[in-house]
């Protein structure tokens, strides 16, 4: 059934925030991106997740992703939405096992797939999913390779709720470049940066935003352990994870994010402009 995703998500967040107010010692996350691949069926010039820079995209390690889900089950009290995405999540054949694993973790309240609807899912592999907890967010870019109607037909048949975002514009991605501003100013900007409202997990590492996560994987920023929380190295350290999750200082990778200083006046661009090859950038070893 088609739903008003904004309204549904708002009410979901409201419940999570109420739980957090009643338990100051707990860890409560409104929504958390769970990236399962850097492979994508599109090559969008202005992708906020920096997919346009990947020369050798890949599906992420399933064992590490399962480890991350177990970590969340042991160290987080509630997650309003676990958002499974990529790249394009349905190019990864492990997507069905990942969702089934997440559904077995009670503190993950809902699972939302973010998809460009260019790759049709296998209905038989989704038939045992809880259609009250799994939802689909489809991005309609009005390009020929999309299969919006077919995709909706498949998930609607199984009783899943869905939403179609009819994109007319995008906010341009951050340029990967050094931003020379004082640390105090950077921390002030970080506190109101829209990117930090949606943290992400890639394999067994937690990042405060999509930009930092993918910039680190691409080695587009200098390597620094401050840029992520290593769940494998810090297994079952709930208090330490809580401190990192609630941090109010900018990670080192923010030094290379121009979006930090343009968030008040974002650059608007045409959505899903396609590239023939990945964009170039400076690599750090």
CA atoms within 13 A on the CB side of 122: 9
Q: What is the mean pLDDT of residues 162-191?
A: 90
Look at residue 261 and tell me whether its pLDDT is greater than 90.
no
Distance CA 269, CA 170 (A): 5
pLDDT digits (tens, 9 = 90+) for 29-58: 999 999 999 999 999 999 989 999 999 999
3 state SS of 135 = strand
Distant-in-sequence, close-in-space partners of 60: CB < 8 Å, separation ≥ 6: 35, 36, 37, 38, 92, 202, 203
Q: Which of 30, 134, 127, 49 is nearest to 88 (CA)?
A: 49
pLDDT of residue 263: 66
| 69-75: average pLDDT | 96
Closest by CA to 76, choosing from 210, 239, 249, is 239
In this predicted structure, what is the pLDDT of residue 177? 87
Q: Which pLDDT band holds residue 223 (cuts at 50, 70, 90)?
A: very high
141 CB burial (10 A radius; 0-12, 13-18, 19+): buried
């Amino acid at each position: 059934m088609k739903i008003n995703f904004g309204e549904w998500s708002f009410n979901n967040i409201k419940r999570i925030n109420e739980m957090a107010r009643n338990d100051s010692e707990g860890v409560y996350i409104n929504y958390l991106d769970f990236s399962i691949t850097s492979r994508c069926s599109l090559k969008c010039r202005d992708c906020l997740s920096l997919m346009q820079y990947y020369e050798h995209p890949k599906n992420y390690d399933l064992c590490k992703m399962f480890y991350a889900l177990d970590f969340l089950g042991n160290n987080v009290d509630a997650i309003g939405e676990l958002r499974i995405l990529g790249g394009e999540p349905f190019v990864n054949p492990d997507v069905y096992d990942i969702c089934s694993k997440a559904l077995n973790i009670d503190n993950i309240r809902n699972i939302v797939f973010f998809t460009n609807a260019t790759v049709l899912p296998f209905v038989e592999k989704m038939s045992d999913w809880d259609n009250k907890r799994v939802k689909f967010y489809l991005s309609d870019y009005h390009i020929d390779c999309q299969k919006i109607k077919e995709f909706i037909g498949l998930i609607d048949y199984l009783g899943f709720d869905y939403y179609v975002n009819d994109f007319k514009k995008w906010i341009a991605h951050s340029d990967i470049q050094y931003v020379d501003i004082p640390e105090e100013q950077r921390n002030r900007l970080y506190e109101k940066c829209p990117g930090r409202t949606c943290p992400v997990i890639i394999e067994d590492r937690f990042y405060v935003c999509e930009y930092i996560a993918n910039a680190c994987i691409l080695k587009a920023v200098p390597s620094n352990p401050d840029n992520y929380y290593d769940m494998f190295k810090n297994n079952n350290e709930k208090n330490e994870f809580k401190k990192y999750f609630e941090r109010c200082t900018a990670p080192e990778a923010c030094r290379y994010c121009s979006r930090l200083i343009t968030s008040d006046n974002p650059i608007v661009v045409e959505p899903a402009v396609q590239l023939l090859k990945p964009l170039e950038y400076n690599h750090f070893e």
